[in-house]
Copies of this chain bind each other. A is one copy, B any other.
Amino acid sequence: MRGAVIHAPGDVRFETLDDPMILKPTDAIIRTAVTCVCGSDLWPWRGQDAIDGAHPMGHEYVGFVEEVGSEVTAVRPGQFVVGSFATSDNTCANCRNGWQSNCLNREFMSTCQAEYVRIPNAQGTLVATDGVPGEEFRPGLLAVSDVMGTGWYAADAAEVRPGSTAVVVGDGAVGLCAVIAAKEMGAERIIAMSRHASRQDLAREFGATDIVTERGDEGVARIKDLTDGIGADSVLECVGTAEAMRQAVHSARPGGNVGFVGVPHEVAVDGQELFFSHVGLRGGPAPVRRYLPDLIERVLSGRIDPGKVFDLTLPLEQVAEGYKAMDERRAIKALLKP
């Protein structure tokens, strides 16, 4: 089969690779229906994360089950399945507590920009749809496996409630999906921080009621202006930089909540500042598996369409162009079709 391999910053190649095989009785092999490039894939592409030898890329996938290990009974060959970037047995103590992305047997996916993918912990990770969804739903279901699940977690961790005010920091695919989540959870006012016209438009389409283009202290001041000087009930931090985290904590009202889902890069939170803010903070890799049945239903019923974050579609063999387009911000997110 063929798939994407990163060799060095800026150097992703589409190569012939060994077909994946069942290695453990808990594995499944899927044939990729659609996959994509993630904002976090750009960290190594840009040389901001070290690349320790050439390795496959990609952690987002939906597809058809090809083969299952002897212990996998929840899904069967031919079914269309949605998973998560973090696999989980869905039976350990952490999974039972709803933190499947902290499963004691967790394995992070990393080989999904390929024609076939081995899924560890398949029994607890994969959810089959009722029948095979039409092509029009597949981008949305693919989004659910990562960016939509992550945006949902940001809103959940930030405790978005009906009638509340939510701020979304970051206008990447996760931030845009976080707008969808805040809207679904009933936020009355959703302030998207974005300075890119096309992203602002999509944020509005997804439910944003206000757009703030300022950043840093100016951005915080603008949020305060919009919230009677107090700050927002919930802030959804979808970037991962120190500036974005600072902006998020400062934009929340006393006693408000920040959900942070951008993988922190050199972020330290000052204890005394957090203390006197009374702001609650929770982050992490989203426990997508917890949300899967609900989010799949929302997509298949047409209630939400997070697939709109894909504004570029490429054949899988042009995966490198997907990285480039996202790096240069020509695309929000690139969909790849095998």
Are A245 and B268 within 8 A (Cβ)? no
Are A94 and B230 within 8 A (Cβ)? yes
CB-defined interface of A274-285 with B at 8 Å, one 1/0 digit per residue?
Answer: 111111111111
Tell me if A263 counts as interface (CB < 8 A to partner B). yes
Residue from A157, A228, A242, A264 whose CB has the most chain B CB atoms within 10 Å: A264
In the bound complex, how far is the Cα of B230 from the Cα of A336, in angstroms?
39
Across the interface, A230 reaches (CB within 8 A) one of B93, B254, B279, namely B93
Q: What's the number of copies of this chain in the assembled complex?
A: 2
Least Cβ–Cβ distance between A101 and chain B, in angstroms: 8
A90-146 residues at the B interface, CB under 8 angstroms: 93-94, 97-99, 101-102
Are A278 and B245 within 8 A (Cβ)? no
User: A282 — which chain B residues lie within 8 A by C-beta?
Assistant: 278-281
Across the interface, A255 reaches (CB within 8 A) one of B102, B245, B275, namely B102
User: A278 — which chain B residues lie within 8 A by C-beta?
Assistant: 99, 101-102, 282-284, 287
In the bound complex, how far is the Cα of B213 from the Cα of A102, in angstroms?
29
In the bound complex, how far is the Cα of B174 from the Cα of A34, in angstroms?
55
Tell me if A267 counts as interface (CB < 8 A to partner B). yes
Tell me if A197 counts as interface (CB < 8 A to partner B). no
In the bound complex, how far is the Cα of B279 from the Cα of A99, in angstroms?
11
Across the interface, A276 reaches (CB within 8 A) one of B228, B253, B274, B285, namely B285
Least Cβ–Cβ distance between A197 and chain B, in angstroms: 31
Least Cβ–Cβ distance between A224 and chain B, in angstroms: 12
Are B254 and A94 within 8 A (Cβ)? yes
Tell me if A18 counts as interface (CB < 8 A to partner B). no
Tell me if A301 counts as interface (CB < 8 A to partner B). no
User: A279 — which chain B residues lie within 8 A by C-beta?
Assistant: 282
Tell me if A270 counts as interface (CB < 8 A to partner B). yes
Are A269 and B272 within 8 A (Cβ)? no
User: What are 11 A-B interface contacts by the 8 Å CB criterion?
Assistant: A97-B254, A97-B255, A102-B255, A263-B275, A267-B270, A268-B268, A269-B271, A275-B285, A278-B287, A280-B280, A280-B281
- Contact surface of A with B, Cβ cutoff 8 Å: 93-94, 97-99, 101-102, 157, 228, 230, 242, 245, 253-255, 260, 263-272, 274-285, 287
Taking A267-B270, A274-B283 as given, write out 12 further A-B residue pairs in contact, using a Cβ cutoff of 8 Å, ordered by the A residue number.
Answer: A94-B254, A102-B255, A102-B276, A264-B271, A264-B274, A269-B271, A269-B274, A275-B284, A275-B285, A278-B282, A279-B282, A280-B280
